A and B are shown apart, each in its own frame.
Chain A
Amino acid sequence: MRTARALHRLDLRSGSLAPIVAILVVLLILLTARQPDFLSPPSLMAFLGRSAPIVLLAAGQYFVIVSGELDLSVGSLVTAQVVVAARLIDGDPSAGWPVALLLFAFGVAVGLVNGLVTTRLGVPSFITTLGMFLILVGAVYLWSDGAPKGSLSEEFRRIGRSGIENVPVLERVPYALLVLLAVAALALLLTRSDFGRTLTAVGGNPRTAELSGVRVGRAKTLAFVLSALAATLAAILIGGYSGVSFQAGAGLEFGAITAAVLGGVALGGGRGSVVGAMLGALTLETLFTLMNFYGVSGALEPTVQGAIILLAVAAASFRLPSG
Chain B
Amino acid sequence: MSGALSPPARWTPPGVFVALALTLAIGWLAVTLDGGRLFSQPTTVSLLHVATGLGLVAVGQTLVVLGGSLDLSVAYVVSLSTLVAAETMAGDDGALLPAIALTLAVSAAIGLVNGLLVTVARINPFIATVGVGLLLKGYLDNGYDGPAGKTAPALVKGLGYQRVGPVPVSFLLLLGVTAAAWFVLARTRFGHHLIAVGGDPEVARLSGVRGHRVLVTAHVLCALCAGLAGIYLAGRLGAGAPRVGTEGLYDLESIAAVVLGGTALAGGRGGVIGTVGGVLLLASIDAVFNQLEVDVFFKQVIRGVVIIAAVAVHARRTLRKAT
Tell me the A residues contacting B by CB distance below 8 Å: 70, 72, 117, 121-124, 126-128, 130-135, 137-139, 141-142, 146, 254, 257-258, 261, 266-268, 297, 299-307, 309-310, 313-314, 317-318, 322
Chain B positions 121-138 with a Cβ under 8 Å from a chain A Cβ: 121-124, 126-128, 130-135, 137-138
* Cα of A134 to Cα of B311 in the assembled complex, Å: 15
* Cα of A318 to Cα of B132 in the assembled complex, Å: 19
Interface residues on B, range: 35 or more
Contact A134 B301 (CB under 8 A): yes
Contact B123 A310 (CB under 8 A): yes
Chain B positions 77-128 with a Cβ under 8 Å from a chain A Cβ: 117, 121-124, 126-128
Contact A138 B300 (CB under 8 A): yes
A-B contact pairs, 5 of them (CB 8 A): A121-B316, A133-B252, A134-B307, A139-B301, A142-B295
Chain A residue at minimum C-beta to C-beta distance from B319: A122
Chain A residue at minimum C-beta to C-beta distance from B249: A134
| Residues from chain B with Cβ under 8 Å of A267 in the complex | 124, 126-127
Q: Does B154 contact A (CB under 8 A)?
A: no
* Cα of A310 to Cα of B311 in the assembled complex, Å: 32
* A-B interface, 3 closest residue pairs, ranked by CB to CB distance from nearest: A303-B138, A138-B300, A306-B134
Chain B residue at minimum C-beta to C-beta distance from A298: B141
* Cα of A153 to Cα of B28 in the assembled complex, Å: 48
B117, B135, B302, B316, most chain A CB atoms within 10 A: B135
* Cα of A311 to Cα of B226 in the assembled complex, Å: 25
A72, A121, A133, A300: the one contacting B315 at CB < 8 Å is A121
Contact B134 A305 (CB under 8 A): yes
A266, A310, A313, A318, most chain B CB atoms within 10 A: A310
| Nearest CB on A from B132, distance (A) | 7
* Cα of A268 to Cα of B139 in the assembled complex, Å: 30
B297, B299, B307: the one contacting A130 at CB < 8 Å is B307
Q: Does B224 contact A (CB under 8 A)?
A: no
Contact B316 A131 (CB under 8 A): no
Q: A130-B255, A317-B122 are in contact. Are A124 and B265 (CB under 8 A)?
A: yes
Contact B130 A127 (CB under 8 A): no
A128, A133, A138, A261: the one contacting B124 at CB < 8 Å is A261
Contacts A134-B301, A310-B123, A314-B123 known; list 16 others, CB within 8 Å. Answer: A121-B315, A122-B316, A130-B256, A131-B304, A133-B252, A134-B304, A139-B301, A142-B298, A146-B297, A258-B127, A300-B138, A301-B138, A306-B137, A309-B127, A309-B131, A318-B122
Q: A134-B300, A138-B301 are in contact. Are A310 and B128 (CB under 8 A)?
A: yes
Q: Does B303 contact A (CB under 8 A)?
A: yes
| Residues from chain B with Cβ under 8 Å of A132 in the complex | 304, 308
* Cα of A307 to Cα of B130 in the assembled complex, Å: 11
Q: A127-B308, A128-B308, A258-B127 are in contact. Are A314 and B121 (CB under 8 A)?
A: yes
A70, A127, A133, A307: the one contacting B135 at CB < 8 Å is A307
A297, A300, A304, A306, most chain B CB atoms within 10 A: A306
Chain B residue at minimum C-beta to C-beta distance from A144: B297
* Cα of A51 to Cα of B132 in the assembled complex, Å: 24
Contact A310 B132 (CB under 8 A): yes
Contact A313 B297 (CB under 8 A): no
* Cα of A258 to Cα of B139 in the assembled complex, Å: 20
